[in-house]
Amino acid sequence: MKPVFLESFYPVLLLAHLGVTFFLVGAMVHNFWCVIRYVNGRFDRCDSEKRYAKWLFLAYLAAYGIGALVYPAYKVYIGYPGFRIETPWAKGLFEVKEHWAVIGLLMAGGYYYLRRNFEPEKERAKLALYVPLCFLLNATVWYVVIAGCRLTMLKGSWS
């Protein structure tokens, strides 16, 4: 069998995926608490919130990109032979993780672009999209992170 794309870099890429994810969660949680203040009518941290939205998007892109590089080797050595037959529930967790990650990518991009083009204090009607989008993005990323950690604990490598 031919070596799978980047399989020899798998451990390094997996660690990088985890490291960038920590950064993503940090930016996302900071952003979330600022958005909660908007819900309470407090707009004193708009600049910080905009900055966190930018870092959230960049970290999401990086985590997603590294995850996509890891995926071929993961599929061949872990996901396909192991999870699919021995622990189908884990395969289910993983499939949802991958699907939600794509929807999350759309949301992270849309969220950042929307934030760049509106002022929360002056255009409060647009919070009707921005705030629920923030909640959905948080729910999506938390699922992806927790499922990813659980699956890696179950089987993180094949050697």
Partner 1 sequence: MKRGDRAFLGVAAFLAAGALAYCSVMWFGIAVPRYYPSAGMWKWTMDPGVPSQGWFAAQAFALAVGALAGGVVAWASGRGDGGALGAGRVRAVSVATVLVLAGCLGYLMWHEFVKWGVF
Q: Which amino acid is at 15?
A: L
Euclidean distance between CA atoms 117 and 104, whole angstroms: 20
Cα separation, 70 vs 7, in Å, equals 8
Residues 6+ apart with CB under 8 A from 143: 96, 97, 100
Q: Does 133 bind partner 1 (CB under 8 A)?
A: yes
Q: How far is the CB of 3 from partner 1 (least distance, A)?
A: 8
Tokens of 149: 């950690």
The size of the interface with partner 1 (CB under 8 A), counted in residues, is 43
Q: Which stretch binds partner 1 (CB under 8 A): 14-22, 27-35, 42-50, 90-98?
A: 90-98
Out of 53, 56, 140, 145, point to the residue binding partner 1 (CB under 8 A): 140
Q: Is 2 in the site for partner 1 (CB under 8 A)?
A: yes
Say how many CA atoms lie within 13 Å of 134 toward its Cβ: 25
Residues forming the site for partner 1 (CB under 8 A)? 1-2, 4-5, 68, 71-73, 75-76, 79-80, 88-89, 91-93, 95-96, 98-100, 102-103, 105-107, 109-110, 113-114, 116-118, 123, 125-126, 128-129, 132-133, 136, 140
